């Protein structure tokens, strides 16, 4: 299914109580106490002293459920820990948490709703042997633009107000929402044979992590993938990647003519986990390159990337997809000209006439404009006539052909008198306004041998 329009992102701050770092156990001011040099970011408490108790994993033999730290709901008083977050009415919010008793069975309530009007969602009772793990969802009611997510102490074993209800690994927020942005460099218009660098940036503008994230980008028709160009530019696992399919993070698929990237933390061939932009503001960026084929001359290249990922905040994974913007690149027309030059004789004598035929052909893929063939007769030849389309300038040797359609050709016939003995090399070169993808066939040359004329006293010459 497609990703729905993104609601206002909702995500708790410091959900696993990893900040600030503590040693053993410390009781610290909540986030409202801005004057305190060391306080607990994100969280507020209803305790009148504004104090929150944080534990480091392993203290008194209690391991953290997530990360290396956790909180005790009761610091010095029976209290409620909470955060107030801006929300969009109608948004589906997901929650999950770990709860554990300290000295026996402790009970805690989860309250969600507008500040000052929260409603109990669930109660949790857990002992000291293991962390209880709980998940659920909440739909923001109409008109509720601010929502409180609160943990209220109900009871604790032993009856001590400063003891009870461990908390860890808390999430409350929106589903992941992936945004793909595609760029191409250079921007164009480009020429046949140029290289385009495509980059796709993936950012998670949702609350939860985008899990099993795999980016796919089909190579645009009219281009060829440039081997060895796969790279993660920034974000998790940045660096060059191989083209092979057994690479853990990226590969080129020649059958599908596409590139595939597994993105995010711990990315493998099955995809990684991309945190939201609160944690990873720039997201992650993948890159590859293509070479523009001759067939793309005069066309517009179109390219769009897509990604599949999962929302794993609920009981079962929810498949989601994202599509990037379309990147358009204009390619200038190209025309592949070729020249063939031939002479009616390879050996002539001084005073005889030699006839040259110059043929220019356009193999496309686009029409050629401003076609010019330069064929200046060398010393030892004097022009007698020039026949063919366009115009021929004897002084410069420029034959102005004009425009040749894709697949069209033209021929010029030059008649010249040989005036000097020796080898004579005559060369023709074709050019046009358009980029020529193959200049190796733009020039052709013919060599003839001019022999001296027979002597006037030679009896054989007289008989001739």
Residue-range domain boundaries for the chain:
25-173, 178-330, 335-451
Check: CB of residue 409 under 8 Å from CB of residue 345: no
Structure tokens that stand for 112 in this block: 């969600």
Residue pLDDT, tens place only, 300-352: 999 999 999 999 998 889 999 999 999 999 999 999 999 999 999 999 999 99
Q: Which strand (E) or helix (H) includes residue 461? A: helix 459-463
Is 335-451 the same fold as 25-173? no
- Residue of 464 and 153 predicted with greater confidence: 153
- Options 2.60.40.740, 3.40.50.2300, 3.40.30.10, 1.20.1250.20; CATH for 335-451 is 2.60.40.740
> Strand 443-451 vs strand 347-349: parallel, antiparallel, or unpaired?
parallel
Residue 281: which pLDDT band, with cuts at 50, 70 and 90?
very high
- Mean pLDDT over each residue of the chain, to the nearest integer: 93
Q: So what's the pLDDT on residue 330?
A: 97
Percent of the chain beyond pLDDT 70?
A: 96
Q: Which pLDDT score, from 0 to 100, does residue 371 have?
A: 97
Can you tell me whether residue 440 is helix, strand or coil? helix
Separation CA 36–CA 20 (nearest Å): 12
The pLDDT of residue 9 is: 87
CATH class of the 25-173 domain in this structure: mainly beta
Neighbours of 412 (CB within 10 A): 21
Quick one: 34 exposed, middle or buried, by C-beta within 10 A (0-12, 13-18, 19+)? exposed
Give the per-residue pLDDT at 188: 77
Among the ranges given (7-16, 178-187, 442-451), the one the predictor scored with the smallest mean pLDDT: 7-16
pLDDT exceeds cutoff 80 at 456:
no
pLDDT per position as a tens digit, 381-425: 999 999 999 999 999 999 999 999 999 999 999 999 999 999 999
Nearest 5°: phi and psi at 100? -155, 145
pLDDT in tens, 120-143: 999 999 999 999 999 999 999 999
Contact status, residue 384 vs residue 353, Cβ threshold 8 Å: yes
Separation CA 36–CA 17 (nearest Å): 17
Which residues face 388 on adjacent strands?
Answer: none
Using DSSP's 3-state secondary structure scheme, residue 129 falls into coil
Q: What 8-state DSSP symbol labels residue 459?
A: H
pLDDT in tens, 60-105: 999 999 999 999 999 999 999 999 999 999 999 999 999 999 999 9
Q: What is residue 6's predicted lDDT score, i.e. its pLDDT?
A: 66
C-alpha 339/C-alpha 363 separation (Å) is: 11
Contact 71, 47 (CB under 8 A): no
Architecture of domain 178-330: Sandwich (2.60)
Distance from chain centroid for Cα 98: 37
Mean pLDDT of 12-39: 95
pLDDT category of residue 5 using cuts at 50, 70 and 90? low
Say which residue the tokens 């770990």 belong to.
98
Looking at the predicted structure, is the pLDDT value of residue 455 above 70?
no
Give the residue from 290, 340, 296, 289 showing the smallest Cα distance to 435. 296
Q: Which CA distances in Å does 151 have to 12, 73, 75, 121, 436?
A: 13, 8, 13, 10, 72
pTM metric for this prediction: 0.82
Cβ 332 vs Cβ 435: under 8 Å:
yes
User: Which segment of 7-11, 276-280, 302-306, 384-388 scores lowest on mean pLDDT?
Assistant: 7-11
């Amino acid at each position: 299914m497609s990703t729905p329009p993104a609601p206002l992102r909702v995500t708790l701050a410091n959900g696993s109580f990893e900040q600030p770092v503590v040693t053993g156990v410390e009781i610290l001011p909540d986030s409202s106490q801005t004057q305190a040099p060391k306080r607990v970011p994100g969280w507020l408490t209803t305790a009148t002293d504004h104090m929150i108790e944080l534990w480091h994993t392993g203290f008194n033999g209690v391991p953290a459920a997530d990360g290396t730290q956790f909180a005790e709901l009761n610091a010095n008083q029976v209290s409620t820990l909470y955060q107030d977050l801006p929300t969009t009415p109608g948004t589906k919010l997901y929650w999950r948490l770990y709860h554990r008793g300290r000295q026996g069975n402790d009970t805690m309530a989860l309250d969600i709703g507008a500040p000052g009007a929260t409603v109990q969602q669930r109660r949790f009772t857990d002992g000291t042997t293991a962390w209880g793990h709980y998940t659920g969802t909440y739909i923001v009611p109409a008109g509720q633009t601010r929502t409180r997510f609160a943990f209220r102490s109900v009871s604790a074993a032993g009856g001590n107000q400063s003891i009870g209800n461990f908390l860890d690994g808390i999430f409350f927020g929106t589903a992941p929402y992936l945004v793909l942005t595609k760029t191409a460099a250079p921007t164009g218009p480009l020429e046949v044979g140029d290289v385009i660098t495509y980059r796709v940036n993936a950012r998670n503008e949702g609350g939860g992590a985008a899990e099993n994230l795999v980016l796919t980008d089909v190579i645009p028709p009219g281009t060829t993938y440039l081997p060895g160009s796969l790279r993660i530019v920034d974000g998790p696992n940045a660096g060059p990647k191989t083209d092979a399919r057994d690479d853990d993070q990226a590969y080129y698929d020649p059958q599908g003519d596409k590139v595939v990237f597994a993105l995010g933390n711990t990315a493998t061939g099955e995809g990684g986990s991309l945190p939201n932009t609160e944690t990873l503001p720039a997201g992650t960026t993948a890159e590859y390159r293509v070479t523009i084929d001759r067939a793309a001359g005069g066309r517009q290249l179109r390219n769009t990337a897509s990604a599949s990922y999962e929302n794993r905040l609920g009981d079962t994974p929810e498949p989601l997809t994202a599509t990037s913007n379309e990147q358009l690149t204009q390619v200038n027309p190209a025309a592949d000209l070729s020249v063939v030059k031939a002479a009616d004789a390879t050996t002539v004598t001084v005073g005889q006439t030699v006839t040259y035929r110059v043929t220019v052909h356009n193999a496309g893929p686009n029409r050629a404009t401003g076609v010019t063939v330069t064929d200046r007769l060398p010393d030892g030849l004097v022009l007698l006539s020039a026949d063919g389309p366009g115009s021929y300038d004897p002084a410069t040797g420029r034959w102005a052909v004009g425009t040749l359609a894709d697949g069209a050709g033209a021929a010029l016939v030059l008649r010249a008198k040989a005036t000097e003995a020796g080898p004579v090399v005559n060369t023709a070169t074709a050019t046009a306004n358009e980029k020529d993808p193959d200049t190796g066939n733009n020039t052709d040359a013919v060599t003839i041998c001019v022999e001296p004329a027979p002597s006037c006293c030679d009896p054989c010459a007289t008989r001739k």
